[in-house]
């Protein structure tokens, strides 16, 4: 069976889809002909994303919500359904991150990341369930290497993303009988994203990260978008409950290099 990358007449909602990797995913689906909705907290970012997606010639709408607020997320689902009908593809990608040693991480800082990443993922998926195409919907959570790779100064992210991946596995089991597939994509170091700017803020640090990737380069937002398109296509109709790294092999050995660089960064900031 040939790879089906034609998403005309399908509806795609990308939560957290107004910047970075998630906006790249939204663009990928827009180029493939989908009706695309993007949602985030910032109205300005939502409006800019809709203008960009509309440039691809398809239909796009923007919605605003803080994923930590269940009622706001519920409203997003209702508005999307009113505009574009049932959801064929749901991408949950809202995330927060900053490097911090555990002993200096405030309870509010830990709570903020867990609230956005883990609770936000649950709110999005739970609220979307009544509106998902059954059978046939594809749900994709955007995870991170910290979900399975311990990383210094990332205890909040490690805890949150490990939870996200377990949500993926459990809901793949619960929703499989409805014909809904649930998977996680784990991006590696992706160029020109806020995440990389926070974790590797200098050109020399980013070069070192790229060198630690077996394929010898940072990834691109297009790399992640292509995986999202594949997972939502007929070619992946028997794939669910998977945690898929898209990282050029970085998770095999290179993640430790980022921990070492962050240790130097934090040490120099506190000396």
Summarised one tens digit per residue, pLDDT across range 21-49 is: 999 999 999 999 999 999 999 999 999 99
Task: Please name every residue paired with 190 in a beta bridge, in sequence order, or none if there are none.
Answer: 219
CA dihedral 208, 209, 212, 216 (to 10 degrees): -90
Q: Which of 1, 17, 64, 2 is nearest to 228 (CA)?
A: 17
Pick the CATH number of 11-195+218-252 from 3.40.50.2300, 1.10.760.10, 3.40.50.720, 3.40.640.10: 3.40.50.720
Taking only the tens place, the pLDDT of each residue in 177-194 is 999 999 999 999 999 888
Which residues 6+ apart lie within 8 Å of 257 measured at CB?
A: 208, 209, 212
Residue 38, SS3 per DSSP: strand
CB-CB contact of 188 with 246 (8 Å): yes
Quick one: pLDDT at residue 142? Answer: 98
With vertex at residue 123, the alpha carbon angle to CA 121 and CA 126, rounded to the nearest 5 degrees, is 105
Residue environment code for 105-116, b if the CB has 16+ CB neighbours within 10 A, otherwise e? beeeebebbbbb
Cβ burial, residue 176 (10 Å; 0-12/13-18/19+): middle
Find how far residue 215's CA is from the centre of its chain.
22
Q: Is the pLDDT of residue 171 over 80?
A: yes
pTM: 0.92
Residue-wise pLDDT for 113-138, tens only, equals 999 999 999 999 999 999 999 999 99
């Amino acid at each position: 069976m040939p790879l089906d990358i034609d998403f005309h007449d399908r509806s795609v909602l990308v939560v957290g889809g107004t910047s970075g990797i998630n906006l790249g995913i939204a663009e990928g689906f827009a180029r493939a002909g989908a009706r695309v909705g993007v949602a985030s907290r910032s109205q300005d970012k939502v409006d800019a994303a809709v203008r960009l997606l509309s440039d691809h010639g398809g239909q796009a709408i923007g919605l605003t919500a803080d994923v930590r607020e269940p009622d706001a997320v519920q409203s997003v689902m209702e508005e999307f359904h009113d505009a574009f009908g049932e959801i064929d593809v749901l991408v949950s990608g809202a995330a927060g991150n900053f490097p911090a040693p555990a002993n200096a991480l405030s309870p509010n800082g830990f709570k903020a990341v867990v609230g956005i990443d883990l609770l936000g993922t649950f709110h999005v998926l739970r609220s979307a369930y009544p509106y998902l195409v059954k059978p046939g919907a594809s749900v994709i959570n955007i995870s991170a290497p910290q979900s399975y790779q311990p990383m210094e100064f990332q205890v909040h992210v490690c805890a949150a993303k490990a939870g996200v991946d377990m949500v993926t596995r459990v809901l793949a089991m619960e929703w499989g009988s409805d014909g809904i597939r649930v998977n996680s994509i784990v991006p590696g170091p992706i160029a020109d994203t806020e995440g990389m700017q926070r974790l590797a803020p200098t050109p020399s640090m980013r070069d070192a990260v790229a060198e630690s990737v077996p394929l010898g380069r940072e990834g691109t937002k297009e790399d992640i978008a292509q995986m999202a398109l594949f997972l939502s296509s007929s070619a992946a109709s028997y794939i669910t409950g998977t945690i898929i790294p898209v990282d050029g092999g970085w998770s095999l050995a290179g993640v430790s290099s980022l921990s070492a660089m962050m240790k130097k960064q934090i040490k120099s900031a506190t000396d």
